[in-house]
Structure 1
């Protein structure tokens, strides 16, 4: 099955040549998502919880544009700039995955935007229920 870009209505610019999501054979791959406005400026500077919420809402919009829901998420890759924000990120994250939790990993690293505190990339299976 060919790959189909997934671009939610109202999406802003991207930082590089990529789509917010891509779907193939019922699997949605959501690109690494930062808390960026439509002009690629970081929002909620200094607030890891608010950035996490913003990121997860963006991810949710990609999955919904592909016909899925957050309960279809099977894997998350989480990147944070400081372990001091780990608890705040997890508190928000848990509200988006209240039932069975998807697999995930979390690493500390530098991110492409200086004020970004968290980035999440997601995989969801929406085509086969």
Structure 2
């Protein structure tokens, strides 16, 4: 099945060869999203709350560009640099997913930039 690349024009140029998201049929895949600005500059260093909020806003915008919403998200992949940020990430996450919660996993791992604390990738199903 062919897919459509989703790259909202207001986003900075990716730091690697990928699309912000792809849409295949009624499914939208959002790439792993970090709190990055233009040129790959890390936004909100040291602040997991602000980074999580930024990441979820980028995911929301990517979904909207594909015709989906956060309510369509069925699964999230969450990566944390440090378990110490788990509570802060969850507090923001709960604001963005107030109703039925998507399935998810959360792991601790190294992220592509040392100052990145949170990365989230999403899968949404429209309809």
Task: Tell me the TM-score normalised to structure 1 length.
Answer: 0.96
The whole-number CA distance in structure 2 between the counterparts of 1:81 and 1:91 is 17
In structure 2, C-alpha distance between the alignment counterparts of 1:105 and 1:2, rounded to whole Å:
28
Provide, for residues 40-91 of structure 1, a one-character-per-residue CA deviation record: whole Å limited to 9, x for no partner: 1100000000000000000000000001111000000000010000000000
The corresponding residue for 1:22 is 22
In structure 2, what is the equivalent of residue 113 of structure 1? 113
Paired position in structure 2 for 1:88: 88
Matches within 5 A, 1:1-129: 1-126=1-126, 129=127
- Deviation, 1:38, is 2.2
Q: Report if aligned partners of 2:15, 2:39 keep a CA contact under 8 Å in 1.
A: no
In structure 2, how many angstroms separate the alpha carbons of the residues matched to 1:31 and 1:25?
A: 17
CA distance in structure 1 between the aligned counterparts of 2:2 and 2:26, rounded to whole angstroms:
11
Instruction: Specify every segment of 5 or more residues in structure 1 that has no aligned partner in the other structure, as ranges.
Output: none
TM-score by length of 2: 0.98
Detail structure 1 runs of 4+ shifted over 4 Å in the superposition.
Answer: none
Aligned-partner Cα distance in 1 for 2:123–2:12 = 21
Q: CA RMSD in A?
A: 0.7
Distance 1:98 1:39 in 2: 33
Q: Deviations over 1:11-57 (max 9, x none)?
A: 11111100000000110000000000122110000000000000000
| Inter-partner Cα distance in structure 2 for 1:16 and 1:39 | 11
